[in-house]
Amino acid sequence: MRRVVVLGPQRHVVTVTEELKLLGLSGRIATITAGWQEREAEDDELSAALGNRSVNLRLHARTDDVFAQDQQLFSAHRRRQDNLRQLQDIYRLRLDHLMASATMLMSRAGPPELIEPEREDTIEQLRALDAHHLRRIRDVHEAFEQEELPGERRALAQHRAEVHGILEECDAVAIAGGHVSTLIGRMRLLDVAAGMVAKPILAWSAGAMVLTDRVIAFHDRPPEGAGNAEILDVGLGIARGIVALPHATTRLKLDDHARMALFSRRFFPADCICLDAGNRGHLDDRTWTFTAGTLRIDRDGATVAASPEAE
């Protein structure tokens, strides 16, 4: 049975070491630090936390090498990125308008029997837009796969084979955070998901986000002003049923219950799980359990224990 562990940020509270012990694995651990981009190889601390038995898959460097060798693929990749960027802009435009009306409705006073169906309908429209955007993203990825046949290109095929070879020799995979788009993009290009089938996975921050069904970007406190959480990409669908929210306490306005209620209801039926430092979640088969202190945003926008029985 595969075990998936999602963790809060590891920079100040390292929990991955203990989790690795709990898994009882003695072999090598494949690490993915592609989210760190050019700093991918600066993984001494991570390696130590994993008992100095890790092997970095170097997905970022490998992708750079593939693109350097295969300019045609590089150009096709850029076209895909341009298309995705344009789609994201259009989605954001539509999202802004829907979110504006939904936000007003969430804080509007009135008889619940009148207001609540209107809220639900607006949220349904948001869900429909999110689902539509996710389909469009999936279409762009599929078109890329069908038109460019990346798996048949020599440089990429070679790196994919090497990555799969390393994964085969490892007992588990550890995925660090960083730039979430870079991380999922490089994992997708090197087809990492196919190579880590059935292996235990430990992931934190952006690493946890890419494992979910939908990669959802969020930030309520950027300098340009609070934006709307947005669907960014198709996730790997391994950590199913949750929205992973790293640094939730600092990135989200958790005290703004109307805002959080909209957030939670929009992404329902997935559970919105706060993954702050020290928080952990375990997925065994199809059941999630979370350690004490790990919070979930409920339908009313309040933060509650993600696993009440653990408290």
Partner 1 sequence: MIPAIQQLERRGGLDSRVVEMFIRSHTFPLIEGARVTFVWRGQADAVHLRHWVFGLASAQPFHRLAHTDLWHLTIDLPRGSRFEYKFDVVRNGHSQWIRDPLNPNIAHDPFGANSVCQAEGYEVPNWCLPDADARQGTLHELMLNNTAFGGPRPLTVYLPARYRETRRYPLLIVHDGGDYLRYARLKTVLDNLIHRLEVAPMIVALTHPKNRMDEYPNDPHHAQYIVEQVLPFMERNYPVFGTPSQRCLMGASFGGVASLSTAWRYPGVFGKLLLQSGSFAFTDIGENKRGPAFDRVVEFVNAFRENPGRPAEKVYISCGTYESLIYENRSMVPFLQSHGLEVRYDEARDGHNWENWRDRQQSALSWLFPGPLWFVYE
- Which stretch, 97-105, 113-121, 171-179, 288-296, contacts partner 1 (CB under 8 A)? 171-179
Residue 240 within binding range of partner 1, rule CB under 8 A: no
String marking each residue 57-96 x if it binds partner 1 according to CB under 8 A: -------x--xx---------x---x------x-------
98 within 8 A of 45, measured Cβ to Cβ: no
For the bound state, the minimum distance from the C-beta of residue 117 to partner 1, rounded and expressed in Å, comes to 33
Nearer to partner 1, 84 or 105 (CB): 84
- Cβ count within 10 A of residue 72: 9
**Is 285 exposed, middle or buried, given 0-12, 13-18 or 19+ CB atoms closer than 10 A?**
exposed
For the bound state, the minimum distance from the C-beta of residue 72 to partner 1, rounded and expressed in Å, comes to 15
String marking each residue 108-147 x if it binds partner 1 according to CB under 8 A: ----------------------------------------
Residue 232 within binding range of partner 1, rule CB under 8 A: yes
Distant-in-sequence contacts of 53-57, Cβ < 8 A, 24+ apart: 53/27, 53/28, 53/29, 54/28, 54/29, 54/30, 54/174, 55/28, 55/29, 55/30, 55/31, 55/166, 55/170, 56/30, 56/31, 56/32, 57/30, 57/31, 57/32, 57/163, 57/166, 57/167, 57/190, 57/192
304 within 8 A of 296, measured Cβ to Cβ: yes
Among 109, 222, 287, 309, binds partner 1 (CB under 8 A): 222
Residue 227 within binding range of partner 1, rule CB under 8 A: yes
| Residues at the site binding partner 1, with contacts judged by CB under 8 A | 9, 11, 35, 38, 64, 67-68, 78, 82, 89, 177-182, 205-206, 209, 217-219, 222-225, 227, 232, 246-247
